[in-house]
Amino acid sequence: MSSSASKIMFQVVAGGAQESSLPVKEIPGSYGIPFLSPIRDRLDFYYFQGQDDFFKTRIEQYGSTVFRVNMPPGPFMARIPRVIAVLDAKSFDVLFDVSRVEKRDVFTGTYMPSTSLTGGYRVCSYLDPSEPTHAKIKQLLFILLASRKSHVIPSFRSFYSSLFQTMESQLTASLGAKSDFNKLNDVTAFDFLGDAFFGVSPSSTNLGTSGPSKATKWLFFQLCPLMTLGLPKILEELFLHTFPLPPFLAKSDYKALYAYFSSAAAPVLDTAEKLGLSREEACHNLLFATVFNSYGGVKVLFPGILKWLALADPKLHSQLAKEIRSVVEAEGGKVTLAAIEKMELTKSVVYEALRMDPPVKFQYGKAKHDLVIESHDAAYKVSKGEMIFGYQPLATKDTRVFENGGEFVGDRFVGEQGKKLLMHVLWSNGHETESPTLENKQCAGKDFVVLVGRLLVVEFFLRYDTFNAEVGTLLLGAQVTVTSLTKAA
């Protein structure tokens, strides 16, 4: 196909006919020299340009939001680093269409952590919906989440009010004292999730207070190829980005976490057997869904929400406090699902934080057959087997969809016009207006995540009128250090 912008109709080889009236263009970009260029791209991505600029400079260079590039980590961690990047709100959609992309073993991207880190199993996040176990495990999680629905709000309020009490005492301990929200959240979230999902807080078991550090270490073994720690580049390149860390070094931590799940989640494992899953496979999956998907997610999401609140005009704080307090008062002082549903601004703020900083930034899928990707301006042919990659923070800031897409606008999703934009919020690996099913790859915990995000804002502004914080970056998300809290009058 010529690269000239001719208007053309064409067929997708499999998956039915597809017409496009957009000009067909060749995908720009090149993978360069094998081995060397992927390393150069990795250095650009981590050190010389940084993630956002890595993509933005190439969008400018190629005049296209779809292009070929090598994605880190590359050699030797990933055998094939070559991807087709999709970076606008329209082309990104291809990644949600499991009739067009295969989601087998692409959860972390072009590399896959050793299954020794997950008991020898490929857990749900790595399964394509065409694999029979996918539906069984996702069903189990749906059943679990539905059965614990009434426990989430009381559990959250109990654990997070205690977090805020600790924060207050840290801030009053001395003049100029600060409180590291991430540290407190790391400890609290682990206990909260165990309590909310299984009714057993991990710190009350043999795990004691070691759960969060064991969990964080196990997560690090899987995610370090995607991280920089601020250490000398040569060390990071060698130890984080080139070879996998040996899984046996996290074995005893994993064993201790597994022991908690096999006991605390025993009733869920009974249900798993009825669905045709072995207790063992189900337990490794529950561990992964709780510790990787949920804990890993909340470690990033909550500081992300507080970060945007800290950076916002204090007027937003008073509007939130007013909305939250008046709704709760009208509900007789109770925080209920129905009450939260009425908090339009609170809901909007959480969606906006998820839009600006989707906690999981990368999505991957392999073309199941020859297909066509459409951006706003052009159509591009992709061959079967090619890896498609989306960097979500750019897709959800697309100014063709969101006015001032790069700015945090707290009330963006309020009102009828605002609600129409929700379909472009994509954090859950799908549109916010759609729901996870056994057939798709949308986050099984979508409703839970949105609920706890809202609960954080609600709990915060029931207690405080406003606050100040220092905001920085930490590993895969934001670092928030609170410097002052103004208690509710």
- Provide the binding-site residues for ligand HEM, judged by CB under 6 A: 103, 107, 124-125, 127, 134, 138, 141, 289, 293-294, 297-298, 301, 359-360, 363, 427-429, 441, 443-445, 448-449
Positions of E strands within 291-376: 362-367, 371-374
CB of 100 or CB of 441, closer to ligand HEM: 441
- Give CA 358 to chain center in angstroms: 6
Q: Give whichever of 410 and 453 is closer to ligand HEM, judged by the CB atom.
A: 453
Instruction: Please say whether the beta carbons of 453 and 443 come within 8 A.
Output: no
Question: Rounded to whole angstroms, how far apart are CA atoms 261 and 259?
Answer: 5
Instruction: Residue 402: name the closest of 391, 414, 389, 412 by CA.
Output: 412
| Least gap, CB of 125 to ligand HEM (angstroms) | 4
Provide the minimum distance between the beta carbon of 443 and ligand HEM in the complex, in angstroms, as a whole number. Answer: 3
Q: How far is the CB of 187 from ligand HEM (least distance, A)?
A: 17
Kindly state the smallest distance separating residue 129's Cβ from ligand HEM, in Å. 6
Q: Do 164 and 457 contact (CB within 8 A), yes or no?
A: no
> Bridge partners of 76?
none
Closer residue to ligand HEM (CB): 27 or 123: 123
CB of 371 to ligand HEM, least distance (A): 18
Contact at 8 Å (CB) between 400 and 415?
no
- CA–CA dist 99, 349 (Å, integer): 33
Please tell me the distance from the alpha carbon of residue 44 to that of residue 50, in angstroms, as a whole number. Answer: 7
Distances (CA, A) of 44 to 29, 159, 178, 288: 15, 41, 34, 31
CB 446 within 8 A of CB 428: yes
- Cβ proximity to ligand HEM: between 286 and 339 the closer is 286
Give min distance, CB of 391 to ligand HEM, in A. Answer: 12
Q: Whose Cβ is closer to ligand HEM: residue 256's or residue 449's?
A: 449
Report the residue number, 64 or 125, with the smaller CB distance to ligand HEM. 125
Give the nearest distance from C-beta 404 to ligand HEM in angstroms.
24
**Strands of 82-86's sheet, edge to edge?**
66-70, 82-86, 387-391, 362-367, 101-102
Query: Is the CB of 39 or the CB of 268 nearer to ligand HEM?
Result: 268
CB of 351 to ligand HEM, least distance (A): 13
Per the CB < 8 A criterion, the answer to whether 64 and 25 are in contact is yes
Q: Which residue blocks in 18-148 are alpha helix, DSSP H?
A: 36-43, 51-62, 132-147
Q: Under 8 Å CB-to-CB from 232, ≥6 apart: which residues?
A: none
Among residues 17 and 146, whose Cβ is nearest to ligand HEM?
Answer: 146
Beta bridge pairs of residue 67: 85
- Residue closer to ligand HEM, measured from CB, 45 or 197: 197
* Min separation Cβ 298 and ligand HEM, Å: 5
In angstroms, what is the minimal distance from the CB of 97 to ligand HEM?
13
Q: Are residues 75 and 98 in contact, defined by beta-carbon separation less than 8 angstroms?
A: no
Name the token pair of 66: 């779809």
From residue 119, how far is each of 114, 287, 433 by CA, in Å?
Answer: 10, 10, 35
Q: Which is nearer to ligand HEM, 146 or 175 (CB)?
A: 146
